[in-house]
Amino acid sequence: MDYKNVQSAPGSPAVFESSQQYLRSANIAIQLTLFLKNLGYDSRAHIDGDYEVICPLVARDAGLGEIGRMGLLMTPHLGPRVRIAVVTTNAPLVPGEYQPDRNMIEFCRVCKKCADCCPGNSIPTDDMLEIDGVSRWRIDSDSCYRYWCTSGTDCGRCMAVCPFSHRNNLFHNTIRVLIRYSRLFARLAYHADDLFYGRKPKSKPPSEWMRI
């Protein structure tokens, strides 16, 4: 998702960006589904509004990232700034292997910035829970949705403030790699993020073309 538009959350440009990327992921998923069907395999696209799986959990098992405190997939280069779709199929595939990113989880344990900034008080501040056999955080989706209904947007403030949502550039990618391999650096990065961006960063203007 576009960095600037996400930074404007909970403003409406973040919702526009979200819809745009859900649409793109759905396009890709449906094309892939049709391709597999043409090869003779059963397949199904799981896209926004029509899921039979929990996409972030599938994506985590496929090795695409971790599940952060805010319950979203945290990817290595864009953090939670992604929208995903899933394709299930009976095609014979070679299974990928989930490699836990323990330092990203450790970062989430101490950071809690999304929880501190959540206007709906929906993100837990305590430790992970065992949910359906998986250890993870789970947000209070009722209070999150209540905030969406009162604010008139899909919020996304948690995604905007997350230190892993910074730009996909050499500087921030180097920091992401260092966090992955050094727990000490992860601690330093957590403090540095508060120092440079603030504990409760304010919404920023969206991309130029999105401004009215």
**Would you give the binding string for ligand SF4 spanning residues 159-198, x where CB under 6 A is met?**
--xxxx----------------------------------
How far, CA to CA in Å, does 206 sit from each of 3, 167, 181? 9, 14, 33
Write out the DSSP string of 97-114: -----HHHHHHHHHH-HH
* Shortest CB 4 distance to ligand SF4, Å: 18
| Window of 45-53, 57-65, 125-133, 152-160 that interacts with ligand SF4 by CB under 6 A | 152-160
Find the binder of ligand SF4 among 26, 158, 186, 189 (CB under 6 A).
158
Sign of the dihedral defined by the CA atoms of residues 180, 73, 211, 144, in that order: negative
* Shortest CB 28 distance to ligand SF4, Å: 24
Question: Could you say whether residue 147 binds ligand SF4 (CB under 6 A)?
Answer: yes
Rounded distance between C-alpha atoms, residue 52 and residue 65, angstroms: 20
What is the footprint of ligand SF4 within residues 94-123 (CB under 6 A)?
107-108, 111-114, 118-120, 122-123
What is the footprint of ligand SF4 within residues 19-78 (CB under 6 A)?
68-70
* Shortest CB 110 distance to ligand SF4, Å: 8
* Shortest CB 120 distance to ligand SF4, Å: 3
How far does Cα 189 stand from its chain's mean position? 19
* Shortest CB 27 distance to ligand SF4, Å: 24
Rounded distance between C-alpha atoms, residue 121 and residue 114, angstroms: 10
Find the binder of ligand SF4 among 60, 83, 136, 157 (CB under 6 A).
157
Please say which residue, 88 or 203, places its beta carbon nearer to ligand SF4.
203
What are the residues whose beta carbons fall under 8 Å from the beta carbon of 92, sequence distance 6 or more? none
Rounded distance between C-alpha atoms, residue 123 and residue 117, angstroms: 9
At 133 the three-state DSSP class reads coil
Please say which residue, 3 or 41, places its beta carbon nearer to ligand SF4.
3
How far, CA to CA in Å, does 80 sit from each of 34, 104, 160, 211? 28, 12, 9, 24
Please say which residue, 120 or 206, places its beta carbon nearer to ligand SF4.
120
State both tokens at 19: 């819809």
* Contact call for residues 205 and 2 (beta carbons, < 8 A): no
Judged by the rule CB under 6 A, the positions of this chain that interact with ligand SF4 are 68-70, 107-108, 111-114, 118-120, 122-123, 139, 144, 147, 155-158, 161-164
